[in-house]
């Protein structure tokens, strides 16, 4: 495994084109130690499901046109772009401790 600082901590692949941020609750499920990088595939393997757009937090790094404002971040992998643009049917459950909870079709099955 290469010791490059952007390498995926599971597969060792370079995550340079997969700069992203998911919501803290999703990252904590997959990476309890909260350190390091994971490629999209390894994050999905740890979660046991495919990521969708609502898994990604609302920060500039997740914007599809980020290079216009942050050219040093480079382009995004096609896999990341697909996840950022995939939406599942969902509804809002307002009964969970005053927080809004998004339920996807899989949760409602």
Tens of pLDDT along 63-105?
877 655 555 555 788 888 888 888 765 544 444 454 444 544 4
76 compared with 41, residue with greater pLDDT = 41
- Between CA 49 and CA 46 the distance in angstroms is 8
Q: For the whole prediction, is pTM greater than 0.85?
A: no
- Between CA 8 and CA 37 the distance in angstroms is 5
The CA dihedral of 26, 29, 34, 38, to the nearest 10 degrees, is: -70
pLDDT, one tens digit per residue, over 13-38 is: 988 888 899 999 999 999 998 788 99
- Bridge partners (DSSP) of residue 56 are 22
Single out the residue of 1, 17, 18 nearest to residue 9, CA to CA. 1
Say yes or no to pLDDT of 109 above 50: no
pLDDT at 92: 46
pLDDT at 108: 42
């Amino acid at each position: 495994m290469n010791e490059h600082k952007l390498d995926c901590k599971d597969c060792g692949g370079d995550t340079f084109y997969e700069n992203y941020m998911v919501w803290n609750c999703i990252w904590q499920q997959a990476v309890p130690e909260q350190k390091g990088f994971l490629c999209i595939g390894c994050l999905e393997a740890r979660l046991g499901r495919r990521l969708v757009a609502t898994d990604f937090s609302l920060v500039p790094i997740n914007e599809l046109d980020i290079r216009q404002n942050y050219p040093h971040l480079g382009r995004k992998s096609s896999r990341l772009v697909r996840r950022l643009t995939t939406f599942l049917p969902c509804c809002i459950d307002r009964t969970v401790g005053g927080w809004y909870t998004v339920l996807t079709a899989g949760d409602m099955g």
